[in-house]
């Protein structure tokens, strides 16, 4: 009964189900390769997130010492060119936003995945006890 429901949902693509049932080794290999690619992208994304965090923390400590009244927006503008250049060396691909297929690493993709923006920097610095100008969050959200 379940087989009939699945076949009716697949319609003309039900032959794929027949192929998978008749060739489980090939289907398993395809799924294993897909899972391997997905996991590689996931680990690259975690690596990029960790390196971005370290870059922001190191850069921020130096900039806060040099210019104590800097805002997270100012830090973002100073960090972004370095981050964008380094990003290309940190990974090759990451999972798409729907997590179904890999996409090449680019600044736009990673900004979307990590929400890398001045607010993200402010939250990260606050979590690591690095204080910035108080009223900056209000000006960023307006």
The domain in which residue 113 lies consists of 43-141
Q: What is residue 63's three-state secondary structure?
A: helix
Question: What pLDDT, on a 0 to 100 scale, did the predictor assign at position 55?
Answer: 94
Please state, in angstroms and rounded to a whole number, the distance separating the CA atoms of residues 50 and 135.
28
Q: Does residue 24 belong to any structural domain of this protein? A: no
> Does the pLDDT at position 142 exceed 70?
no
Q: Does residue 63 belong to any structural domain of this protein? A: yes
The predicted model scores a pTM of 0.77
Q: How many domains is the chain built from?
A: 1
E-only strand ranges, 53-131: 93-95, 102-104
Question: What pLDDT, on a 0 to 100 scale, did the predictor assign at position 134?
Answer: 58
Q: Does residue 55 belong to any structural domain of this protein? A: yes
Q: Give the position of tokens 């402010």.
A: 122
Please state, in angstroms and rounded to a whole number, the distance separating the CA atoms of residues 75 and 126.
14
Please state, in angstroms and rounded to a whole number, the distance separating the CA atoms of residues 28 and 7.
20
Question: What pLDDT, on a 0 to 100 scale, did the predictor assign at position 136?
Answer: 45
Judged by average pLDDT, the poorest of 19-33, 105-119, 128-142 is: 128-142
Using DSSP bridges, classify how beta strands 102-104 and 93-95 pair: parallel, antiparallel or unpaired: antiparallel
């Amino acid at each position: 009964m379940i087989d009939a429901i699945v076949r009716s949902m697949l319609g003309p693509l039900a032959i794929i189900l027949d192929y998978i049932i008749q060739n489980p080794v090939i289907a398993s290999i395809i799924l294993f390769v897909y899972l391997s690619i997905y996991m590689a992208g996931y680990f690259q994304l975690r690596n990029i997130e960790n390196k971005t965090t370290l870059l922001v923390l190191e850069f921020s400590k130096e900039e806060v010492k040099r210019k104590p009244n800097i805002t997270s927006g100012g830090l973002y503008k100073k960090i972004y060119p370095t981050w964008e250049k380094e990003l290309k060396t940190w990974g090759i691909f990451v999972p798409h936003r729907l997590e179904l297929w890999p996409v090449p690493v680019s600044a736009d993709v990673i900004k979307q995945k990590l929400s890398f923006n001045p607010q993200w920097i402010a939250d990260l610095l606050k979590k690591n006890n690095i204080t910035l100008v108080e009223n900056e969050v209000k000006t960023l959200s307006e």
